[in-house]
């Protein structure tokens, strides 16, 4: 096949926002050959949970969904229980789940079918790449239905089975998440526990775990006893490999993650971004206050992480304990804008400044990074944070936002505007399906470095590249 490349196609131009080089084809990016990010999955993938109730399926589904979305893989969770709650408005008791309750069986089958339809719509109409199908899926029959559905449409299927017989773990799960469920709202706790236990028994009789012999052609991971053991079969592609790695790193041991920025720096005072300056006097005060705060928290075996930048290290030094430096925790690289004030950026690079306001998540500083780049850079940090127990991370504004967005499941367009003021520690404690957040302001004054999202009442006017300087600088905080 002869390769005829005309001169026009060979010329490259850099997209102004993302700073990605593309062929000059009239910006018709859909016809472009090159993808600007590595392709992790070619066909849509269904992750199908398997397991008795209270085995952590929804917990795993939610975490996995957050993680995949955070790394840029559009993922959506489909909880069949929700569909059932829509169909049957009031939950009476466990009898609904009895295997001989024919009417209920019909409803439950219909709910699963409805969920599958929505999965198909998500893939075909919403450009989803991964769907997490969260249900018990405890019979071979049900799993066959799902497999057929997927095969007909060319979806890959990866099963995640959670197996646990430790009564303590199960009781704890039930306490943590079931009592708060809409099914049991307002009920007496003991009554709820009794009912749920009977519910589990309804499934137990017909439960057929994935069979290592009969199902040897399927792709799956079996998780035993909350991660003490795993059996992994036939990982087909990159995304499945990443999912397995992630699942093998998460745990449920109670712990807290403390996030803090470095103390106020000299460049902060001057309203300059980036750079590698040391702490201001107030920043030093914060470092001492942080040390006192941490001591007061009485944290067991706390790990302390900083970036490679002087201001975070100086902050950590005040704690008087061991700390580890991660280059991956360095602040976003502002490229040619390093150490400029926002006013200077507006003056010298007004177009860049406007583009940043247009799409702050994807905007890449010239010769620098974007928030999107930052997320990729931080992925190993997140993975290690999942493995760890009590950790204090001393980092920077943009990095802080990325980490916070991961733990609180904030979408990409909100991420760059999350509030992360100086001299404030956030304590994140995973509970149930989410994260409890406590904010501690340590009472040491500092400049404000937060830029609000430009108010676009006049729609695109305030992010237009031709906007007036006064409009552009509206969102810039005060400084010396």
Which residues sit opposite 278 in a β-bridge?
none
Least Å distance between CB 121 and other proteins? 27
Q: What separation in angstroms does the CA of 371 have from each of 173, 375, 403, 405, 416?
A: 36, 6, 11, 11, 7
**Tokens 């499941």 correspond to what residue?**
409
Q: Measured between alpha carbons, how far is 153 from 150 in angstroms, rounded to an integer?
A: 5
Which residue in 199, 171, 166 sits closest to 92, CA to CA?
Answer: 199
Q: Measured between alpha carbons, how far is 42 from 58 in angstroms, rounded to an integer?
A: 26
Least Å distance between CB 442 and other proteins? 16
Dig out the tokens for 50 from the structure. Answer: 């398997």
**262 counts as catalytic:** yes
Which residue is catalytic, options 111, 164, 337, 395? 164
Q: How far is CA 137 from the centre of its chain?
A: 26
Identify which of residues 323 and 407 has a Cβ nearer to other proteins in the complex: 323
**351 counts as catalytic:** no
Least Å distance between CB 123 and other proteins? 21
Which residue is catalytic, options 134, 161, 333, 379? 134
Which residue is catalytic, options 66, 183, 202, 262? 262
* Pairing verdict, β 424-431 and 75-79: unpaired
Identify which of residues 36 and 206 has a Cβ nearer to other proteins in the complex: 36
- Which residues lie near other proteins (CB under 8 A)? 1, 3-5, 9-10, 12, 14, 20-21, 23, 33-39, 212, 216, 228-235, 237-238, 241, 244-245, 248-249, 276, 278, 284, 287, 305, 308-310, 313-314, 316-318, 321-328, 338, 367, 373, 376, 379-380, 384, 387
Which residue is catalytic, options 331, 352, 357, 379? 331
Long-range contacts from 240-247, C-beta under 8 angstroms, 24+ separation: 240/45, 240/156, 240/158, 242/40, 242/71, 243/47, 243/64, 243/68, 243/158, 243/160, 245/383, 246/64, 246/67, 246/383, 246/386, 247/60, 247/64, 247/160, 247/221, 247/223
Identify which of residues 106 and 229 has a Cβ nearer to other proteins in the complex: 229
Least Å distance between CB 186 and other proteins? 42
Q: Is 276 helix (H, G, I), strand (E, B) or coil?
A: coil
Contact call for residues 157 and 48 (beta carbons, < 8 A): yes
Least Å distance between CB 10 and other proteins? 6
Identify which of residues 388 and 475 has a Cβ nearer to other proteins in the complex: 388
Which residue in 251, 243, 259 sits closest to 386, CA to CA?
Answer: 251
Dig out the tokens for 27 from the structure. Answer: 């910006």
Identify which of residues 20 and 104 has a Cβ nearer to other proteins in the complex: 20
Identify which of residues 228 and 466 has a Cβ nearer to other proteins in the complex: 228
Q: What separation in angstroms does the CA of 177 have from each of 36, 182, 188?
A: 41, 10, 15
Dig out the tokens for 426 from the structure. Answer: 């956030």
Identify which of residues 58 and 265 has a Cβ nearer to other proteins in the complex: 265
Q: Measured between alpha carbons, how far is 427 from 438 in angstroms, rounded to an integer?
A: 5
Least Å distance between CB 24 and other proteins? 10
**238 counts as catalytic:** no
* DSSP assignment of 172-199: HHIIIIITTSGGGTT--HHHHHHHHHHH
227: DSSP letter: G
Identify which of residues 149 and 406 has a Cβ nearer to other proteins in the complex: 406
Least Å distance between CB 227 and other proteins? 8
Least Å distance between CB 237 and other proteins? 8
Catalytic center residues:
134, 164, 262, 331
């Amino acid at each position: 096949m002869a390769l005829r490349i005309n001169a026009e196609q060979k010329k490259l131009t850099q997209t102004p926002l993302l700073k990605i080089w593309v062929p000059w084809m009239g910006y018709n990016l859909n016809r472009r050959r090159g993808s600007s990010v590595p392709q992790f999955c070619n066909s849509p993938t269904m992750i199908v949970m398997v397991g008795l109730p209270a085995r952590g399926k929804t917990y795993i589904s939610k975490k996995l969904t957050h993680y995949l979305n955070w790394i840029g893989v559009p993922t959506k969770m489909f909880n069949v229980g929700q569909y059932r709650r829509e169909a049957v408005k009031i939950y009476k008791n466990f009898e609904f789940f009895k295997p001989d309750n024919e009417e209920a069986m019909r409803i439950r089958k219909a709910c699963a079918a409805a969920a599958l339809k929505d999965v198909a719509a998500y893939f075909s109409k919403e450009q989803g790449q991964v769907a997490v199908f969260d249900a018990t899926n405890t019979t071979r029959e049900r799993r066959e239905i799902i497999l057929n559905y997927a095969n007909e449409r060319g979806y890959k299927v990866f099963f995640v089975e959670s197996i646990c017989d430790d009564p303590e773990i199960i009781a704890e799960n039930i306490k943590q998440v079931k009592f708060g469920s809409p099914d049991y709202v307002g009920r007496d706790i003991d009554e709820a526990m009794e009912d749920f236990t009977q519910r589990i028994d309804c499934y137990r009789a017909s439960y057929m775990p994935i069979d290592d012999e009969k199902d040897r052609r399927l792709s799956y991971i079996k998780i035993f006893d909350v991660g003490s053991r795993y059996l992994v079969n036939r990982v087909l592609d990159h995304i499945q490999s990443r999912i397995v790695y992630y699942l093998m790193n998460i745990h449920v041991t109670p712990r807290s993650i403390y996030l803090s920025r470095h103390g106020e720096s000299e460049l902060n005072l001057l309203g300059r971004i980036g750079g590698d300056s040391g702490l201001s006097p107030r920043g030093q005060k914060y470092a001492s206050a942080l040390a006192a705060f941490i001591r007061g928290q009485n944290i067991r075996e706390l790990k302390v992480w900083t970036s490679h930048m002087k201001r975070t290290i100086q902050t950590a030094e005040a704690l008087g304990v061991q700390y580890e430096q991660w280059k991956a925790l360095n602040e976003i690289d502002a490229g040619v804008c390093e150490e400029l004030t926002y006013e200077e950026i507006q003056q010298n690079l007004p177009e860049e400044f406007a583009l940043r306001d247009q799409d702050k998540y994807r905007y890449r500083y010239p010769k620098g990074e974007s928030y999107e780049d930052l997320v990729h850079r931080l992925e190993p940090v997140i993975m290690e944070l999942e493995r760890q127990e009590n950790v204090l991370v001393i980092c920077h504004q943009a990095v802080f936002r990325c980490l916070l967005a991961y733990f609180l499941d904030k979408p990409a367009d909100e991420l760059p505007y999350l509030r992360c003021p100086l001299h404030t520690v956030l304590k994140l404690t995973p509970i149930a399906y989410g994260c409890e957040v406590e904010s501690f302001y340590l009472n040491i004054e500092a400049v404000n470095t937060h830029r609000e999202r430009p108010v676009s009442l006049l729609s695109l006017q305030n992010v237009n590249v031709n906007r007036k300087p006064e409009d552009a600088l509206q969102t810039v905080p005060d400084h010396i």
